[in-house]
């Protein structure tokens, strides 16, 4: 390898490294929503999780298993097969 090839290779590595650093610095991770637990007032046992609402649920709905669209599939105590 002659002197010019060595300089060219070094310059290429430098430019590549700088572009990687800039790319990483500009990268912003996607926003991830915090999970909602069943203790959260925004939780809906009809629409969230396994869609089983127990007696005395905080949503005030009939206890039982709910399906798509919030339709009561079976009353409490319910079992899923």
14 belongs to a structural domain: yes
Q: pLDDT tens-digit profile of 10-68?
A: 777 766 667 666 666 666 666 676 666 666 777 899 988 889 999 988 889 999 999 99
15 lies in a domain? yes
Query: What is the model's pLDDT at position 33?
Result: 67
Q: What is the DSSP string of the chain?
A: --HHHHHHHHHHHHHHHHHHHHHHHH--PPP-PPPPPTTSTT--TTTSTT-EE-TT-TT-PPSEEE-GGG-EEEESS----
Number of neighbouring beta carbons within 10 Å of residue 52: 19
Overall number of domains in the chain: 1
Report if residue 59 sits inside a domain. Answer: yes
Q: Are the beta carbons of 50 and 80 closer than 8 angstroms?
A: yes
Higher pLDDT, 71 or 40: 71
| Structural domain includes residue 80 | no
CB distance 45 to 51 below 8 Å:
yes
- Is 81 domain-assigned? no
Residue 16 in domain: yes
Q: Is 48 domain-assigned? A: yes
- Each residue's pLDDT tens digit, 1-19: 566 666 677 777 766 667 6
Query: What is the domain range of residue 36?
Result: 3-75
pTM of the model: 0.51
């Amino acid at each position: 390898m002659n002197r010019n090839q060595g300089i060219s290779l070094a310059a290429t590595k430098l430019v590549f490294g700088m572009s990687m650093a800039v790319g990483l610095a500009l990268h912003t991770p996607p926003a991830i929503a915090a999970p909602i637990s069943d203790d959260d007032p925004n939780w809906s046992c009809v629409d969230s999780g396994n869609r089983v609402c127990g007696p005395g649920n905080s949503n005030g709905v009939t206890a039982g298993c709910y399906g798509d669209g919030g339709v009561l599939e079976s009353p409490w105590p319910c079992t899923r097969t």
